[in-house]
Structure 1
């Protein structure tokens, strides 16, 4: 049986990600150039920052994992993909290596070196988008899984936007 983590809206900069039945509640917020992911901690009755990232236009992308983590270049955090690959491989806070990649228009997460999706993102324009957790063992690593998902989805949307702009430029050049 799968678990669904619902997004309050289509944004990946300002939203909440939750599964009420499991008591999972994350908040994504943007302050200036930094996107933060916080988890609600029922024991302390407060939000705990589990990670942050910056994707500046003219500087190197940076990531900070954990409440006391140090800023580091993203290229040092993620394993290097192949030359034309858009996949992102990382080690989660549960110690397992995972990979985010596009599969038939969906972003999915697999265990590195294995086939089969562990998590699949369902983006809906008219209803709530959600992450479908197909393997419950990933729940223990949600802090870094969600942080890296936000980065992977942001980069996927940026690639799609760039392709659309290039297609429009070509179309307007052909007609003009």
Structure 2
């Protein structure tokens, strides 16, 4: 009898910078590569581009208009998509940093904080097992250069790998709101 199959290790998607408006998000082997960019000539629109390794093309998968404002809007599918208010896409939690969004398959996911770190869980999961876990950057002596970039540990669940575009867009919206409320306190 063969031994049981080992569980796949989580995908580690690493951020290149700490900015929410200009960074790249990649796997270690570069099979998945997302670019989050805000051009200076369109300073109000943040685009989430996905790099296709086979065709060597960047495709815009989502856009966020007014990420740094109080009422941002989101559009999926490039120029053919419809703008929706960020409050309709992500239902924010009133008491805590976090919110709930729906994946294309209709599954509800929720961003929550656990010990100061953002985690993504299925809204209907009674165990609240994290599907994606955000790890913030670390610095040498808390001030110098980064010793470790921030990253996501994403469980290799098929429905979440299909919804990575929405995961990234929702994370940017929830994190921007969390950073803004932390400054206002």
- Normalised to the residue count of structure 1, the TM-score between the two structures is 0.82
Secondary structure at the residue paired with 2:137?
A: coil
**Residue 65, structure 1, aligned to residue 76, structure 2:** yes
**Residue 112, structure 1, aligned to residue 123, structure 2:** yes
Which ranges of structure 2 fall in alignment gaps of 5 or more residues?
Answer: 1-8, 139-145
Change (3 A) 1:5 1:56: closer
Contact 1:2 1:136 in 2 (8 A): no
**Residue 26, structure 1, aligned to residue 30, structure 2:** no
Bigger proportion of residues as helix: 1
**Residue 90, structure 1, aligned to residue 111, structure 2:** no
Distance 1:124 1:76 in 2: 30
Contact 1:38 1:49 in 2 (8 A): yes
Tell me the alpha carbon deviations over residues 29-79 of structure 1, each in whole angstroms, 9 at most, x when there is no partner.
01311111110123432111111112353x622111222211111112223
**Residue 132, structure 1, aligned to residue 153, structure 2:** yes
Number of equivalenced pairs: 161
Q: What residue number does 2:25 align with?
A: 17
Give matches, 1:142-157, under 5 Å. Answer: 142-157=164-179
**Consecutive aligned runs of 4 or more in structure 1 exceeding 3 Å deviation:** none
- Normalised to the residue count of structure 2, the TM-score between the two structures is 0.78
Q: CA deviation at 1:141?
A: 1.3
